[in-house]
Amino acid sequence: MASHTSTRTLRRVLVAGAITAGAVILPAAPAMAAPITIPGVGTFEIPEIPGLPPMPAQIPGLPGGPAPVAPQVTPAAKAVQAAESKIGSPYVYGASGPDSFDCSGLVQWAYKQAGVSLPRTSYDQAAAGTSIAESDLQPGDVVSFYGGSHSGIYAGNGNVIHASTSGVPVKVAPVASMPFDGARRY
């Protein structure tokens, strides 16, 4: 415990020393000093250096600092989330949701939840969008199997979400478990 406290004290001294040394070395300038807060250490006046952007009042990512920016959720990610929400739903030939699906109906429905309009049939889905090599698959890519007669949504980690056949609910399966025909990105 004493070693941990000594390490923390040493860090505080080094930070304060570095800030003080920086203040002594920096050229005197008529610019205003900007306060910066280091949680657990204190608030310091740091002179602004001409030509550099102003210092933030708080250090981002530390308590009391600006909140991190939320990442943008892409339509492809939304489609994967929508498809995942239907795992376990029944397969019904010709169904396109929201309670039961065939393969292309699941793909179309999931992308519709993401605000993207896709063709209805697996063959049309295999012909639209941008062609993607199997080695370049990203979550949300539409994967075609069996010569284009079956489709699913790539979920990442080598898996696809799909409505496979009568009596089998929507599920996750390895891409390698079916004969890969191609993939499209929308």
Please identify which of the residues 76, 126, 150, 163 carries the catalytic annotation. 150
DSSP assignment of 69-135 equals PPPPPPHHHHHHHHHHTTTTPPB-TT-BSSS-B-HHHHHHHHHHHTT----SSHHHHHHSSEEE-GG
CA atoms of 18 and 24, how far apart (whole Å): 10
* 150 is a catalytic site residue: yes
Active-site residue (options: 162, 163, 170, 183): 162
Euclidean distance between CA atoms 23 and 116, whole angstroms: 55
4 is an active site residue: no
Neighbours of 185 (CB within 10 A): 15
Catalytic residue among 76, 79, 80, 103: 103
Cα 127 to chain centroid, rounded: 27
Residues acting as catalytic residues: 103, 150, 162
